Structure 1
Amino acid sequence: MKLTSIALALAGVIAAPAASAAAPADAALPEMTVTGTREGELLSETPATVGIVKDTTLRETRPTHPKEVLNQVPGVWVSNLSGEGHSTAIRQPLTTSAVYLYLEDGIPTRSTGFFNHNALYEINVPQAGGMEIMKGPGSALYGSDAIGGTINVLTRTPPTKAEFEASAEAGSHGWGRVLVGGGNAHGDDAWRASLNLTRTDGWQDNAGYDRQTGTARWDRLLGDDALLKTVLSFSKVDQQHVGKLSAGELEATPRANNVPFSYREVDAFRLSTAYEKETANSLLSITPYFRDNSMDILPNWSVSYDPSRYLTKNKSFGLLGKYRRDFEPLRARLIVGLDFDYSPGSRDEDSIRLDKTTNAYGGVTYSLNPAAPVQIYDYDVSYRGISPYVHGEASLTERLRVNAGLRYDDMRYDYENNFNGGVAGATQGVAGPFPAGGWYGHVASTEVGYTHWGPKLGATYAFSEALSGFAAYSNSFRAPSESQVFRGSRESTAAKAQAAAESLLDLKPVIVDNYELGLRGKAGTVRYEASVYHMVKKDDIVSYTDPATTQRTVVNAGETLHRGVELGLGLPLAPAWQLDASLSYAKHTYESWTVSGTADYSGNEMEAAPRLIANTRLSYAPGFMNGGRVQLEWFRLGSYWLDAANTGKYDGHDLFNLRANYPFGKGMEVFGSITNLFDKRYAETADGTGTAPTYTAGLPRSAVVGVQAKW
């Protein structure tokens, strides 16, 4: 049987993008999701909240940053940390911590030990085939890091006949992007390839970046019941960083960059081949993969307390194996699987000397001191993870379907200290008074391991054809990353540095218990979804910042509580008008956290945790626009505390964006967008204290126009 006759049926079950919760009411196909069990399943039978960004949304929005589509999902806030960097808030405060799992076609883009909060710039998001955001702890098929949410970026399915498309964009602040892609099918083979070339000068001083990203996918049928799917992805990002601004700088000189020498050079490569063999009542899936990641960086966020430059590298050799068996009674389904990941890596880091000057607006500008860098870390560390799991489902009645899962994670770091010949000891960084100078501790070569049993229970109930609900309990965890365990903080004495380094070996994994209820349905032409969650995190790994020295220390907090409600709505107002809205209201608190006996934050709200996040979009798509549309978007972010002591707040902001596209001729289309339509002065992130707040300045009004051609 030829690929063109069954490719969509088989490939669609494995990795097809799902429909949006706010899709048109006359959509012919039932809504599907692929993230929960790594294959297609009905969204109505998934006991979890899943936000979906459709392929058509990506094509129409053409995001210049992933936040432009992710912030449309209820309960999701992604901020821009200059360039394509980002921090994320999904049922968590805005954070760079490893509480999110990033996937490409169900495969983690990085191993647990080498988490990168900027993971989406390693993926070709604008040319993806859709995105799924499973909120809260992941299913039994996903382990460490899947706490706040799992973001799965889907590759586009190859076409059934030859096609090609190309677009070119230009915009404010030197923005330019070229997207090209296409594919074909012949016999039992089909393929698609895409290339993303982007550059910008950046709207702030010395804030430009360049990126080259590509994705290639090849599907090959093996007989009538099996498929090989090979995906190759790469990204190369060369980006300059921008430092945080004082309140006076944000108001008077928002374009200023007080760390103009800060940079990041990223290389990411991924290759996987999935073998899927499906019969009438079974599926065998075996997916070996390889990853190669490196990053050379001089970070902007640590210049005030620990200036350094470092190079991290890691390769990954992994395997995802799964067997699913279906049974006639009760529509029962049993899935057993095993995930394996071996990722050798390294860190080579130098402490650098900086000079600083204070300006008239209360800000500090840094410059590189000509003093030679001093090496402070040189180690190799290999991560190994072995995780068997089991997942079962059954329909106890025609309306009630239940599932349960259990995952066991066995993780280990093998650490080799190359700095001190493998033995423990502290060494001085750059000479000078603390914190500009200081000491670093190094533990002896060692092994550190973590294990965890993670259960999950869930049920869905179909109240009617138009309304379903779910209830779920899940337990998950997060193992400390390699830099948290082996990269100690700068301290004022050698003894303190060594003690701090040794203490990191005792960091505990974060343990999470999550309870959730949800509804999905439609009433006439209206589609809606609602969920409420209660999540408790124990031994949360957080960074404590000493307000006197700005020194940061990684510790286990006692307990944090996360509670919230999320709502989504899709409402056709008239034949040409559509209203889509998302809303979340949440509260994140330190239930028990005392820092070194000097500060007790128990009962305080967590910093960078707005209670309110809302997004409303009004779209107009009249017939005379030939499939085009105009969309006005309103994004509302509520106020939040700047620090754990709750000494001051950021007031939040309202932003408006405008997008439009218009097809013309044969396969031609013109498009454009204006972000921050009313040129609002705002902050992407805000922290510090009430008396000395610091801000990451938000993008001013910016425009992009472009043209696309399809053949």
Structure 2
Amino acid sequence: MKLNPIPLALAGVLFAPAAWSADSGESALPEMTVTGTREGELLSETPATVDVVKDRTLRETRPTHPKDVLNQVPGVWISNLSGEGHSTAIRQPLTTSPVYLYLEDGIPTRSTGFFNHNALYEINVPQAGGIEVMKGPGSALYGSDAIGGTINVLTRTPPKSAEFEASAEAGAFGWKRALMSGGNAKGDDAWRASLNLTHTDGWQDDAGYDRQTGTTRWDRALGDDALLKTVLSFSKVDQQHVGKLSAGEFAATPRANNVPFSYRQVDALRLSTAYERETADTLISITPYFRDDSMEIIPNWSVSYDPSRYVTQNRSFGFLSKYRRDFQPLRARLIVGLDFDYSPGSRDEDSIRLDKLANAYGGTSYSLNTGVAPVKIYEYDVNYRGISPYVHGEASLTERLRVTAGLRYDDMQYDYTNRFNNGVAGATQGAPGPYPASGWYGHVASTTVGYSHWGPKLGATYAFSDALSGFASYSNSFRAPSEGQVFRGSRESTAPKAQAAAESLLDLRPVVVDNLELGLRGKSGRGLRYEASVYHMTKRDDIVSYIDPVTQGRTVVNAGKTLHRGIELGLGAPLARDWQLDVSLSYARHTYEEWVAAVNGQNIDYSGKEMEAAPRVIANTRLTYAPGYLNGGRVQLEWFRLGSYWLDAANTGKYGGHDLVNLRANYPFGKGMEVFGSISNLFDKRYAETADGTGAAPTYTAGLPRLAILGLQAKW
């Protein structure tokens, strides 16, 4: 049989219909997924919870922030941290820690050592070809960071013939965005290029941002059984930050920005070329890649305890490779692979002096003290190297029962060169002045630090019928400490304490997680589709940064064990002709099982407490009306419910949660024309994107008020 390689490759890379999309008349659950093994496979034979946001959902929703589509996935909460920044909660409390793996077409967008919790703003999400969310620890094909979940953003496929589309939109608070995409196919080649230009003034003071993002994909057939897929992506983000507000400020002046000088400038570039050759029973895949990331920032979150300005840079050279062989007996499949990543990077950081002024609402405003020159506190190079062989096998023991097993070994190393003070170990003071206005920082001598981990995976799927299947799985994963956790010590009150803290970071161990999961997936002949999963995840040796409430000093330690348990439900059902209902719901409990940290000579024990920023309930309900007279248009009403959660590990106070209602509509007219609009936070509710602090002194990241956007799109 002679294969047509371009359609074959496109199907293997992107064959993933949507989960929890509100597409009337289409399935609400995916039939295929690509994230688990980096090629298309039946979801019914995947022993993991995988949800998919597809191309059509992205085109219709036109997200202004990744949370607009990802918060539709059961058990997912993405918060907006100003601009397009975000923090994530997937089977974990809301966190900026590296417990998630972000991919673009299966390739990590950053190396393990240089994790960025804002990774989605480095990707062209509104113009993607779909997003897959694999919850919990990943398969044997993925290593460090794949703990809470793996988010794989898929590039959009090239068209079969010449096409071009462009849209322009405008909205409240100076929102402006232009999206352009087009491509063509000729002979053995097909390509697509997309460009995203966005600007907003921001709804809070000094909170604007600009971004320029582009993606180019070129697919080339090599004979009848092989293909090259080259993807070039870039993002440039220039945004100002907004600080947290006191309870009084949150109630009276939510548009206030207490840190108007805080900013972030991001440049990200990724280039990869995937070679795939497939025969009747084998596939070989080799994907070399290059990444170049840099960020300059004055972080808003550290102004109260460690004000600084820093620049981080890293470049990555690596490859993903695998060989797959299928066997006729038992429909067996064997995959062996090797991943390699070499990422040289650096950090240059200055301590800055701030002036602060208390206001009438119980908050504090900060400003740069330009009379005190910045003082260098860190200057080092760190090269990350990771080598990871793995093996993955599958077999159908009966017609209905299919089992999988995998094993991955990760060997990782940091080669650290201290460029501060001629590489001599020791502590130095930041911007002059008494502690806590200033402080001391420790520096270790140039050294090498390594980590290794064996990660087993076991799973099984069972087809109860053509309409109902289930799965069970056990997976083990880990995450290595990031370079900032290992070599960037916290500010301390004395030189000896700073140096001791810096030296202790070299002893940090990887975080290890064990996950057990059960799930069901089903459908009926009337278009009803549903899924349910339960999980029990234990995380050991978690890396915790504890803030002392008196000195505001930070201590970073491996601190015991946490437990994460939950149930996730998803439902898609046609209610009547032209009406579609989609519901996602999760209920979870995240607790400290063993959590004792030594801080300033005292043991702080939170064992048995619920973890902070961990709502038990997350729900999303969407009602979509798409009658024939709208010519393919629709009106969608969305209700997002976030339950209450504790503000701090001591469980001294709670944020009460919130309900948000959003409205979206689009209407095609003429030839290739479409008008669209949306209203976020329809009832203009005051809410917090994040809340922390204590019951006596809570702080809030204020959420976006009502935002209306109107736009026009044309296709040729």
TM-score bucket of the superposed structures, by smaller chain: over 0.9
Matched position secondary structure for 2:305: coil
Change (3 A) 1:2 1:176: farther
Matched position secondary structure for 2:580: strand
Could you give the per-residue CA deviations for residues 68-106 of structure 1, whole angstroms, max 9, x where no partner exists? 000000000000000000000000000000000000000
Shift of 1:2: 11
CA contact (8 A) 1:265 1:296 kept: yes
Distance 2:27 2:164 in 1: 27
The letter for the 2-side match of 1:439 is: W
Matched position secondary structure for 1:121: helix
Could you give the per-residue CA deviations for residues 566-598 of structure 1, whole angstroms, max 9, x where no partner exists? 000001001110000000000000000111043
Number of the residue aligned with 1:663: 668
Distance 2:19 2:91 in 1: 20
Map 1:591-606 to 2 at 5 A.
591-596=593-598, 597-606=602-611
Shift of 1:8: 2.1
Could you give the per-residue CA deviations for residues 133-154 of structure 1, whole angstroms, max 9, x where no partner exists? 0000010000000000000000
Q: TM-score, normalised by structure 1?
A: 0.99
Number of the residue aligned with 1:547: 549
Are 2:520 and 1:515 aligned?
Answer: no
Matched position secondary structure for 1:147: coil
Number of the residue aligned with 1:454: 455
Number of the residue aligned with 2:314: 314
Could you give the per-residue CA deviations for residues 325-384 of structure 1, whole angstroms, max 9, x where no partner exists? 000000000000000000000000000000000000000000000110000000000000
Shift of 1:487: 0.1
Distance 1:633 1:545 in 2: 38
Distance 2:523 2:553 in 1: 52
Could you give the per-residue CA deviations for residues 151-188 of structure 1, whole angstroms, max 9, x where no partner exists? 00000111110000000000010000000010000000
Map 1:462-481 to 2 at 5 A.
462-481=463-482
Change (3 A) 1:416 1:30: closer
Number of the residue aligned with 1:276: 276
Shift of 1:254: 0.3
Could you give the per-residue CA deviations for residues 299-323 of structure 1, whole angstroms, max 9, x where no partner exists? 0000000000000000000010100
Number of the residue aligned with 1:534: 536
Are 2:10 and 1:15 aligned?
Answer: no
Number of the residue aligned with 1:482: 483
The match for 2:639 among 628, 634, 638 is 634
Distance 1:165 1:36 in 2: 32
Distance 2:392 2:707 in 1: 48
Number of the residue aligned with 1:212: 212
Number of the residue aligned with 1:377: 378
Shift of 1:626: 0.3
Matched position secondary structure for 2:69: helix
CA contact (8 A) 2:634 2:666 kept: yes
Distance 1:261 1:29 in 2: 45
Are 2:380 and 1:360 aligned?
Answer: no
Shift of 1:422: 1.8
Could you give the per-residue CA deviations for residues 387-445 of structure 1, whole angstroms, max 9, x where no partner exists? 00000000000000000000000000000000022221000111222221110000000
Distance 1:573 1:551 in 2: 55
Distance 1:554 1:664 in 2: 58
Shift of 1:26: 5.9
CA contact (8 A) 2:274 2:287 kept: yes
Distance 1:17 1:261 in 2: 43
Number of the residue aligned with 2:651: 646
Distance 1:212 1:17 in 2: 28
Shift of 1:30: 7.3
The letter for the 2-side match of 1:414 is: D
Distance 1:220 1:515 in 2: 41
Are 2:247 and 1:247 aligned?
Answer: yes
Shift of 1:530: 0.3
Matched position secondary structure for 2:336: strand
Number of the residue aligned with 1:556: 558
Map 1:223-302 to 2 at 5 A.
223-302=223-302
CA contact (8 A) 1:225 1:277 kept: yes
Distance 1:181 1:353 in 2: 45
Shift of 1:552: 2.2
Number of the residue aligned with 2:160: 160
Number of the residue aligned with 2:331: 331
Shift of 1:14: 2.6
CA contact (8 A) 2:140 2:457 kept: yes
Shift of 1:18: 3.2
Distance 2:595 2:633 in 1: 53
CA contact (8 A) 2:29 2:572 kept: no
Distance 2:84 2:116 in 1: 13
Are 2:154 and 1:149 aligned?
Answer: no
Shift of 1:6: 4.7
More deviation in 30-39 or 242-251? 30-39
The match for 1:685 among 679, 683, 690 is 690
The letter for the 1-side match of 2:562 is: T
Shift of 1:19: 3.2
Shift of 1:599: 1.1
Distance 2:698 2:271 in 1: 43
Map 1:413-432 to 2 at 5 A.
413-432=414-433
Matched position secondary structure for 2:10: helix
Matched position secondary structure for 2:677: strand
Distance 2:71 2:27 in 1: 24
Shift of 1:15: 3.2
More deviation in 292-301 or 14-23? 14-23
CA contact (8 A) 2:19 2:29 kept: no
Are 2:574 and 1:572 aligned?
Answer: yes
Number of the residue aligned with 2:584: 582
Change (3 A) 1:494 1:184: same
Identify unmatched segments of 5+ residues in structure 1.
none
Distance 1:586 1:606 in 2: 11
The letter for the 2-side match of 1:542 is: V
CA contact (8 A) 1:517 1:531 kept: yes
Distance 1:706 1:20 in 2: 26
The match for 1:611 among 613, 616, 620 is 616
CA contact (8 A) 2:5 2:225 kept: no
Distance 1:529 1:353 in 2: 53
The match for 1:620 among 622, 625, 649 is 625
Shift of 1:545: 1.1
Number of the residue aligned with 2:70: 70
CA contact (8 A) 1:319 1:339 kept: yes
Could you give the per-residue CA deviations for residues 685-706 of structure 1, whole angstroms, max 9, x where no partner exists? 0000110000000000010110
Q: TM-score, normalised by structure 2?
A: 0.98
Shift of 1:56: 0.5
Q: Which runs of 4+ in 1 moved over 6 A?
A: none
The letter for the 2-side match of 1:698 is: G
The letter for the 1-side match of 2:590 is: H
The letter for the 1-side match of 2:152 is: N
Number of the residue aligned with 1:702: 707
Distance 1:488 1:30 in 2: 45
Number of the residue aligned with 2:496: 495
Distance 2:346 2:5 in 1: 45
Shift of 1:554: 1.6
Distance 2:672 2:557 in 1: 56
Change (3 A) 1:660 1:230: same
Shift of 1:28: 12
The letter for the 2-side match of 1:547 is: P
Distance 2:685 2:9 in 1: 48
Change (3 A) 1:515 1:30: closer
Distance 1:26 1:657 in 2: 22
Are 2:397 and 1:392 aligned?
Answer: no
Matched position secondary structure for 1:7: helix
Shift of 1:130: 0.1
Shift of 1:624: 0.4
Could you give the per-residue CA deviations for residues 613-649 of structure 1, whole angstroms, max 9, x where no partner exists? 0000000001000000000000000000001111100
CA contact (8 A) 1:25 1:527 kept: no
Shift of 1:16: 3.2
Matched position secondary structure for 1:437: coil
